Copies of this chain bind each other. A is one copy, B any other.
Amino acid sequence: MTEPVRVSYGELTKLLATIFRKHGCSEHVAAILAENMALAQGDGAHSHGVFRVAGNLGSLDTGWVDGTAVPIVEDVAPGFVRVDGNNGFAQPALLAARDLFVAKARTNGIALLAVRNSHHFGALWPDIEPFARDGLIALMMVNSMANVVPHGGNKRLYGTNPLGFAVPRPGTDPLVFDQASSTWSNGDVQIARREGRALPVGVGVDRNGQPTTDANAVLEGGALLPFGGHKGSAIAMMMEVMAAGLGGGDFSFEVDWSRHPGAATPRTAQTIILIDPGRGAPRDFSARIETLIAAIHDAGQDRLPGDRRYANRRDAHRDGIPLDPAVAARLRDLAAAEA
């Protein structure tokens, strides 16, 4: 592999924001997307960092997503915030609701945010980690575009439908996981295809529903499988209910971008539940979580979910975010191009 170039968070964020602005995003939206993507890249998530620039631009250029959308926040119940993303990206919609949402969680002990008509094309942990840094437990459920067959089925139905969970740990980084309901994320399969790597058995099927290790066969008419058989399939279904069903957004199988060739972002729905352990837990919640984490290590699991991301982030803050030189050059070209 080519030696990576290193860019600072400031530089990468500025480059990305310029690119998104040139492709139709407002200043505000471009800044949010750029910061989100630079964070994912610095965390070492190659399938959710700058790798996703092209998909975002495809959606912007074909008019599938509105880069200038202003989300509408509705306060529908004491514990329930609803947002119409107005066909924009999910992250600005989440940010628009954030203060109201956090206030409700602190007042009631628990609150729910349901965002619809919004495009989530990134990792979940950048969305939920900040809540945990504010002392709240966050549970996030997202649906995406149909590329997963239900267990026992023969047709794409669910999205990779990620589940994210973040737990506060005062004085140190939150405990955060973010995992697809499918064996692999779609981005990881795309990267395997690009790099010419075979997939492990059990990750996907071809267009005839037959097991395959060919990334191309999975991406072109084939499908991913849910992780863990019928149990992962049930979780993928739960994501459809909790994100699209409850929030009023589209199910993964309803995403129709046939008139927007090149679009890549799913216009679906995102739900977050926030819990304030300070309002309810009868024992010292933080101390109890440290007891749990010590026991996990003691049971021989060296690494917690998120540990590798935090290590990458520290390295990136010290040395710069590593980028493939060709990718860095491409980003600079995109940023310099005429709009």
Task: State whether the Cβ of A51 lies closer than 8 Å to any Cβ in chain B.
Answer: no
Query: Taking A111-B110, A227-B228, A231-B227 as contacts, is the C-beta distance between A279 and B77 under 8 angstroms?
Result: yes
In A296-331, the 8 Å CB interface with B consists of 296, 298-303, 305
* Chain B residues near A242 (CB-CB < 8 A): 137
Query: Taking A152-B302, A248-B282, A279-B76 as contacts, is the C-beta distance between A228 and B234 under 8 angstroms?
Result: no
- In the complex, the answer to whether A238 meets B153 with C-beta atoms within 8 Å is no
Partner of A76, one of B109, B154, B301, B303: B109
Task: State whether the Cβ of A155 lies closer than 8 Å to any Cβ in chain B.
Answer: yes
Distance between A223 CB and nearest chain B CB, rounded to angstroms: 10
- In the complex, the answer to whether B292 meets A240 with C-beta atoms within 8 Å is yes
Which one, A36-44, A56-64, A283-291, is touching chain B?
A283-291
In A246-271, the 8 Å CB interface with B consists of 246-248, 251, 253
Closest to A286 in B: B245
- In the complex, the answer to whether A299 meets B251 with C-beta atoms within 8 Å is no
- In the complex, the answer to whether A301 meets B152 with C-beta atoms within 8 Å is yes
- In the complex, the answer to whether A246 meets B285 with C-beta atoms within 8 Å is yes
* Chain B residues near A84 (CB-CB < 8 A): 282
* Chain B residues near A65 (CB-CB < 8 A): none
Closest to A295 in B: B253
Task: State whether the Cβ of A177 lies closer than 8 Å to any Cβ in chain B.
Answer: yes
- In the complex, the answer to whether A179 meets B231 with C-beta atoms within 8 Å is yes
* Chain B residues near A29 (CB-CB < 8 A): none
* Chain B residues near A76 (CB-CB < 8 A): 109, 279-280
Closest to A108 in B: B79
With the chains together, A303 CA to B237 CA distance in Å? Answer: 13
Task: State whether the Cβ of A48 lies closer than 8 Å to any Cβ in chain B.
Answer: no
Task: State whether the Cβ of A277 lies closer than 8 Å to any Cβ in chain B.
Answer: yes
- In the complex, the answer to whether A245 meets B285 with C-beta atoms within 8 Å is yes
With the chains together, A292 CA to B252 CA distance in Å? Answer: 10
How many chain-A residues does the 8 Å CB contact rule pick out?
Answer: 74
Task: State whether the Cβ of A116 lies closer than 8 Å to any Cβ in chain B.
Answer: yes
Task: State whether the Cβ of A165 lies closer than 8 Å to any Cβ in chain B.
Answer: yes
- In the complex, the answer to whether A167 meets B241 with C-beta atoms within 8 Å is yes
Task: State whether the Cβ of A275 lies closer than 8 Å to any Cβ in chain B.
Answer: yes
With the chains together, A273 CA to B253 CA distance in Å? Answer: 27
With the chains together, A157 CA to B295 CA distance in Å? Answer: 7
Most buried by B among A230, A273, A295: A295
* Chain B residues near A52 (CB-CB < 8 A): none
Closest to A78 in B: B108
Task: State whether the Cβ of A133 lies closer than 8 Å to any Cβ in chain B.
Answer: no
Task: State whether the Cβ of A50 lies closer than 8 Å to any Cβ in chain B.
Answer: no
**A residues in contact (CB < 8 Å) with B:** 76-80, 82, 84, 107-112, 114, 116, 137, 149-157, 165, 167, 175, 177, 179, 227-235, 237-238, 240-242, 244-248, 251, 253, 273, 275-277, 279-283, 285, 288-289, 291-292, 295-296, 298-303, 305
What are 5 inter-chain pairs, A to B, with CB distance below 8 A? A80-B280, A153-B299, A227-B229, A228-B229, A240-B292
